[in-house]
Amino acid sequence: MLQKDNTSNQEKGKSMELLVTLIIFIIVGALVYYVYRSPIVMAMLERAQPFTVLVDSETEWVVDRNGKDRVLKEGIQHFVPFLDKKEAVVEMREFEVDPDEQGILTKDNINIQVDMIATIKVVDSLKAIKGVVDYKSKVKKLVETSTFTMLSQLNFTEIQENANQISQQLIDLMELDSSRWGIKVMQVEFEKITPPQSIKDAMEKEIVAEKEKKAAILKAEGEHKVHELHADGERVLIEKRAEATHKVIKDLKDLMPTLSDEKIMQFLTSTAYIDSMKELSTSSNSKFVLYPSDVQKPMEQVVSTELMSQAMEKNLK
């Protein structure tokens, strides 16, 4: 019985020690809280000179003091341990947000794969931390949903032809939400737009057909130009021949005023005949020359024409 009473007393003693320890801990905690939270102690801590921090360049601290938030900007700032709580360090420089590639069904029922990238900047660090949970992932999701919403209302060709305009429209669309979070969207770009293989094949065929069409047009324009140049050359040659013939006729009339027009025409015809016969006989490809059957009369005209030409040349000299 005595042993049982001793054991019971020991257990009661331990319980009392534990209770006293707990009470002392609560009292000390309350005193510490009161001391540090009292207006006098807080004022003393706020005036303490050693409690300063250096906030890095292009960053801001979001600090909580007794439930009130404030922002410490870059440079030397006043920060009181046990009184101020640093909740976040916010990067104020621009940074990229790169969402995953996503599939989008366009207005003309073409399933394309779109990969976007956005450049953003925190303009209000307090809103970015307190206004939304994890602003980076929120902006990433915003880029995805905005891209899906806009591109699903457009045809594939419209997306291809107006990529720059669509990027600006996406920025304007996202600004409605991002401004509430203290975020500014600086830039949105298409990294990649991938259509189905069937569309790729059709586009390649269209490109080849367009190139062939341009080549055919250039060829036709070139041939037309050659024909025009050839026609211009023929026209110039005919004009020069006409001028030469006119000069010959004038010279003949000056030398022989009594010469009839018929004789002049015979002379010109015979001269052309002589020139053609000379060219034919001196040609490298000619083997023999055929003369007309009624040779006598033409030959008489040729001789008289030759003599007339010689006489005209002497008189001109």
Q: How confident is the model at residue 186 (pLDDT cuts 50, 70, 90)?
A: very high
**Per-residue pLDDT, 258:** 66
The Cα 162–Cα 184 span in angstroms is 23
Would the pLDDT of 129 be above 70?
A: yes
**Encoding tokens for residue 6?**
């001793």
- Region 96-195: CATH code: 3.30.479.30
Q: pLDDT, tens digit, for every residue of 22-64?
A: 777 677 666 655 554 555 555 554 555 457 888 888 999 999 9
Distances (CA, A) of 53 to 42, 66, 79, 314: 18, 19, 6, 118
For residue 221, the SS3 value is helix
Domain extent listing, the chain: 18-47, 51-93, 96-195, 203-247, 256-317
Q: Percent of the chain having pLDDT more than 70?
A: 62
pTM over 0.85: no
The Cα 69–Cα 3 span in angstroms is 62
Name every residue whose Cβ is closer than 8 Å to that of residue 181 and which is 6 or more positions away in sequence: 127, 128, 131, 132, 135, 138, 139
Q: pLDDT, tens digit, for every residue of 83-121?
A: 888 898 999 999 999 999 999 998 988 888 999 999 999
CB neighbour burial string for 141-157, b if at least 16 within 10 angstroms, e if fewer: ebbbebbeeebeebebe
Through-space distance between the first and last CA atoms of the chain, rounded to whole angstroms: 172
Region of residue 13 (phi > 0: left; psi between -120 and 50: alpha; otherwise: beta): alpha
Residue 55 neighbours by CB distance under 10 Å: 17
